[in-house]
Structure 1
Amino acid sequence: MLVLVVLFALTAVLYASVGFAGGSTYNALLALAGVDHRVFPIVALVCNLIVAVGGTIRFARAGLIPWRKVLPLLALSVPAAWVGGMLPVSRHLFLVLLGSSLLVAGVLLLVQPEREMTERRATVIGPAVAGPLGLLSGIVGIGGGIFLAPMLHLIGWDRARRVAATASIFILANSLAGLGGQLTKIAGHPELIRAAAGYWPLALAVLVGGQIGSRAGVQLLPPAWLRRLTAVLILYVAVRILLQVWGAA
């Protein structure tokens, strides 16, 4: 548990520094630690919520959340995240989805280009990807911001800080919906709920790490370098998970 506490805290520092919550890597760490796949999405989503709440509050106070554009995304992604959380999946399929989605997220973080905003393109493409991302987020127990942000940069959604603010509230809303779906799915298995509750030290770890990362992380390294470090970490754990699935690790 102590190793997981340290790794979760470090993950929260790194992810909060670039405007994310870390759910993808929390899941990966729990998977690599051999935790029951029915439990670790709940743990990861709770940790996600803790980190995302702080980021969303700061973005909202700064007036950076483009609510008119964000609400259609949430209207499509939140119900999909709830449904995704309720879907029963085998451990093998879960790890394949998690590893593959992490691989894609890592590549997107490395290459994410930023284009000038085109209102029509952003208005159409943004909502079009929100539902599928919400569904995937609910299934694998993440917030989805790590996929959304590069896509929003790619289509020219808005300025960088507003994209980060959009990703933050997207993570918060989908994590809450996905957690509701996951808890509904295991409602008849109190032993799984007790098992998830036993990982409460990880919640404290990300609370501390998230505060450090969001307040001081960007002062330690340029945002571009922090994004690249995050991408490398994601790609590493993605490969480890996929090798585990294929029986090579």
Structure 2
Amino acid sequence: MTLTLLAALFVCILVVAVLYSSVGHGGASGYIALMALFALPTASIKPTALVLNILVAGIATCTYRRAGQFRWSVFWPFAVTSIPMSFVGGALQLPAIYFKPLLGAVLLFAAFRLVYRQVENPVPPSSPPQAVAAAIGMVLGFVSGLIGVGGGIFLSPLLLLFGWATPRQTAGISALFILVNSIAGLLGHVSSLGNVMHGSAWLAAAAVLGGLLGSALGSRLLPVPAILRTLSLVTFSAALKLILT
């Protein structure tokens, strides 16, 4: 990787980490989108995205939990099945001919989700039925591990749609959900760490810095609607590139 490419990726990863962590996400779909746009090797995308996701989601988890924006009763029924299934999904390696269109479809969903933002609901949120949450967690965990994301991009709209958490609580719950699933997915395919792209230490530094900034400032200063529209555009562009090439 050239110095120019590494510098460009550093800046892009920093920006994506700031934007995603400001809404409680680790940013895996954003990192995947960037790496696809930069035409990086397919084998490097999944493990690199998971490593960066773990760093940013860990920071976001600590920040939102300290702010009191977390509900254990909502989190654990999803996590108890998603964690082992993320491990299983992470152990599988799809051929590029299947991986690229599937990843493109996931990114299209992510782009659609990013333009959706529910306002604060004055009605106190309810807790999901445990059996339903466990079934959903199983599916989300497997898909997350298979693709190389933490699953928050799928869990967040469900929590908001069914009124199981407020937007702020959704950010806190999703952050920890992303963290545990990203770790499980990476453990499911530890050998893939050898494919983490060259210069990943610099990208990790960018992700950590961005995660700190985004988690601290996002809920107060950053214009969330504009952030989501920008991220959606980048993600949508990468999805089209993966599907059409």
TM bucket (normalised to shorter chain) is 0.7 to 0.9
Instruction: Identify which range, 88-97 or 230-239, moves more after superposition.
Output: 230-239
1:201 maps to what in 2? 202
| 1:238 correspondence with 2:243 | no
Q: How does 1:1-249 map to 2 (within 5 A)?
A: 1-113=6-118, 119=126, 123=130, 125-184=132-191, 186=192, 193=194, 196=197, 198-244=199-245
Letter in 2 for 1:149: S
Deviations 1:13-72 (A, max 9, x none): 111111111101212222333333222211111101111111111222233221122111
**Do the aligned residues in 2 keep the contact of 1:133 with 1:147 (CA within 8 Å)?**
yes
TM-score (norm 2): 0.87
Distance 2:126 2:195 in 1: 47
Describe the SS at the equivalent of 2:100: helix
Distance 1:216 1:71 in 2: 27
Over the matched positions of the two proteins, sequence identity in percent amounts to 36
Instruction: Identify which range, 12-21 or 113-122, moves more after superposition.
Output: 113-122
TM-score (norm 1): 0.86
**Do the aligned residues in 2 keep the contact of 1:141 with 1:175 (CA within 8 Å)?**
yes
**Do the aligned residues in 2 keep the contact of 1:50 with 1:203 (CA within 8 Å)?**
yes
Label 1:231 to 1:32 Cα distance change in 2 as closer, same or farther (>3 A). Answer: closer
**Do the aligned residues in 2 keep the contact of 1:15 with 1:22 (CA within 8 Å)?**
yes
Give the C-alpha shift of residue 121 in structure 1: 5.3
Gaps of 5+ in 2: 1-5
Deviations 1:184-237 (A, max 9, x none): 5x4xxxxx6165464221111111111122222444433333333332332222
Describe the SS at the equivalent of 1:111: coil
Distance 2:127 2:25 in 1: 26
Gaps of 5+ in 1: 187-191, 245-249
Letter in 1 for 2:110: A
Distance 1:70 1:26 in 2: 25
Letter in 2 for 1:231: S
Instruction: Identify which range, 224-233 or 81-90, moves more after superposition.
Output: 224-233
Give the C-alpha shift of residue 169 in structure 1: 0.4
Letter in 2 for 1:214: S
Total equivalences in the alignment: 238
Distance 2:39 2:199 in 1: 15
**Do the aligned residues in 2 keep the contact of 1:65 with 1:166 (CA within 8 Å)?**
yes
Give the C-alpha shift of residue 84 in structure 1: 0.6
Label 1:234 to 1:215 Cα distance change in 2 as closer, same or farther (>3 A). Answer: same
Deviations 1:65-87 (A, max 9, x none): 21122111111111111111101
Distance 2:16 2:114 in 1: 16
**Do the aligned residues in 2 keep the contact of 1:28 with 1:241 (CA within 8 Å)?**
no
Label 1:111 to 1:57 Cα distance change in 2 as closer, same or farther (>3 A). Answer: closer
Give the C-alpha shift of residue 96 in structure 1: 1.2
Give the C-alpha shift of residue 183 in structure 1: 1.2
Label 1:3 to 1:123 Cα distance change in 2 as closer, same or farther (>3 A). Answer: same
1:189 maps to what in 2? none
**Do the aligned residues in 2 keep the contact of 1:66 with 1:166 (CA within 8 Å)?**
yes
